[in-house]
Amino acid sequence: MEILRTIESYRELYVDLQGPIGLVPTLGGVHEGHLSLVDAAKKDCKTIVSWLFLNPKQFGPNEDLNSYPAEEKEDISLLDQRGVDILLIPKTIDIYPSDFDTVVKLGKITELLEGSRRPGHFDGVTTIVSKMFNIIQPDRAYFGEKDAQQLRVIQKMVKDLNFPVEIISCPTVRDNDGLALSSRNKYLSIVERNDALSLYQGLHNAKASFENGERNADIVRNVVIQEIKKSPLITIDYVSLSDPLSLVEISGKITPPALLSLAVHIGKTHLIDNVLLE
């Protein structure tokens, strides 16, 4: 694996790269979820480029930028072992020079759910993803369904702004007990991790009730809420049942597909998860 630390060095290599080029971006703290994106990219691309950058602009002032559980050496080794060809680790000063003054901002879709409790978060995401697409110039870019809203926001940005890249969505990878893999799981104590199992249990129960014919949105949301409430360490930020494209909340009767998503805090740890009801 070639490790690059400047945009110029990537540009020099880029002219000779064999397409299709598949891009797998991460903030770091690489786990099997990220590596499943590499596997997906390897299936249909000739060159796999990964991007490792802890983007400060998508973190709020009271969030975990400074303690984010990412270990560069370990991340490099995992991406290398999984078959990434080129890894770009840009420097913050090259991405955001002192005179940087541009924001890529989408509309309503970024104000709902995560956007409502993390103001400015998606502006940071869409700005860095735009820069990343312009720098890497991939044919395909791989994103996880674990971050369902992020995926929708990026799909919408690519459509609205005509980025010449195909967005490939990849299913959520979970531990054997159902907990969705996340870099932030490293923050959890054993007791907290045990409580966190109620997230998937709640989503799973709600999906089962939907599959058994329940179509009342409030009842389905409530199945999740009641399950999570059994875990004393968890504070619910939201449990949402929304249209999967617009992310507008569904009231009354569910007409599938619908996105059932949630965000919670366990102590200081912020976790999200979702399932699609189809």
Say how far apart CA 2 and CA 119 lie, in whole Å. Answer: 36
Q: Which stretch binds ligand AMP (CB under 6 A): 31-39, 108-116, 197-205, 265-273?
A: 31-39
User: 49 or 254, CB closer to ligand AMP?
Assistant: 49
User: What's the min distance (Å) between Cβ of 6 and ligand AMP?
Assistant: 21
- Which residue is at the shortest CB distance from ligand AMP? 144
**How many CB atoms sit inside 10 A of residue 1's CB?**
15
**Pairing state between β 47-52 and 21-26:** parallel
Residue 274 touching ligand AMP (CB under 6 A): no
For 208: left if phi > 0, alpha if psi spans -120 to 50, otherwise beta; the answer is: alpha
Report the largest interatomic distance among the alpha carbons of the chain, rounded to a whole angstrom: 57
The tokens 């559980």 sit on which residue?
Answer: 69
Q: Which stretch binds ligand AMP (CB under 6 A): 25-33, 43-51, 224-232, 245-253?
A: 25-33
Residue 198 touching ligand AMP (CB under 6 A): no
Query: So which residues are the catalytic ones?
Result: 34
Residue 258 touching ligand AMP (CB under 6 A): no
Site string for ligand AMP, 217-256 (x = CB under 6 A): ----------------------------------------
User: 181 or 276, CB closer to ligand AMP?
Assistant: 181
User: What's the min distance (Å) between Cβ of 218 and ligand AMP?
Assistant: 28
Q: Which stretch binds ligand AMP (CB under 6 A): 6-14, 173-181, 230-238, 262-270?
A: 173-181
Residue 158 touching ligand AMP (CB under 6 A): no
Identity of residue 13: L
Of 210, 192, 216, 228, nearest to 275 (Cα)?
A: 210
CB proximity list for 182: less than 8 A, separation 6 or greater: 31, 33, 146, 271, 272
User: 106 or 254, CB closer to ligand AMP?
Assistant: 106
Residue 37 touching ligand AMP (CB under 6 A): yes
Say how far apart CA 3 and CA 72 lie, in whole Å. Answer: 12
HSE of 228, CA atoms in CB hemisphere, 13 A: 27
Residue 127 touching ligand AMP (CB under 6 A): no
Pick one of 10, 22, 23, 26: the residue that binds ligand AMP (CB under 6 A).
Answer: 26
Are the beta carbons of 204 and 227 closer than 8 angstroms? no
Q: Which stretch binds ligand AMP (CB under 6 A): 30-38, 128-136, 198-206, 233-241?
A: 30-38
Subset of 134-153 contacting ligand AMP (CB under 6 A): 143-144, 146-147
Of 82, 130, 85, 84, nearest to 104 (Cα)?
A: 130
Helix runs in 137-181, H state only: 148-161
HSE of 3, CA atoms in CB hemisphere, 13 A: 11
Could you list the residues that contact ligand AMP (CB under 6 A)? Answer: 25-27, 33-34, 36-37, 143-144, 146-147, 170, 172-173, 180-183
